[in-house]
Amino acid sequence: MWPGLIQKAKDGGLDVVQTYVFWNGHEPAQGQYHFADRYDLVRFLKLVKQAGLYAHLRIGPYVCAEWNFGYNAPMACSWSCNSKFSELDSV
């Protein structure tokens, strides 16, 4: 999928490919990392470089409307805050 899309971007005159890095895809559970298949960020960057383009990464955790609710804030807070996200957590 990526080589064709990157080539279309180049053929269309672009010189930069911008993409979000959906961190909840790369770390679906705390300490459990996933960089294979469509999450292979290094492979993606190498393909962009081979095409002679630049990459602009928009690294999460928040990714606006392109992802449902932008980010899983309760999950992240439970990983880093050691506290409840809201009073509803106990409901």
Q: What is the DSSP string of 1-69?
A: -HHHHHHHHHHTT--EEEEEE-HHHH-SBTTB---SGGG-HHHHHHHHHHTT-EEEEEE-S--GGGSTT
Cβ distance 23 to 59 under 8 Å?
yes
Mean pLDDT, contiguous 10-residue spans, the chain (91 residues): 94 94 82 90 96 91 61 55 53 48
Tell me the whole-structure pTM to 2 decimals.
Answer: 0.68
Supply the pLDDT for residue 45. 96
What phi, psi does 29 have (nearest 5°)?
Answer: -140, 150
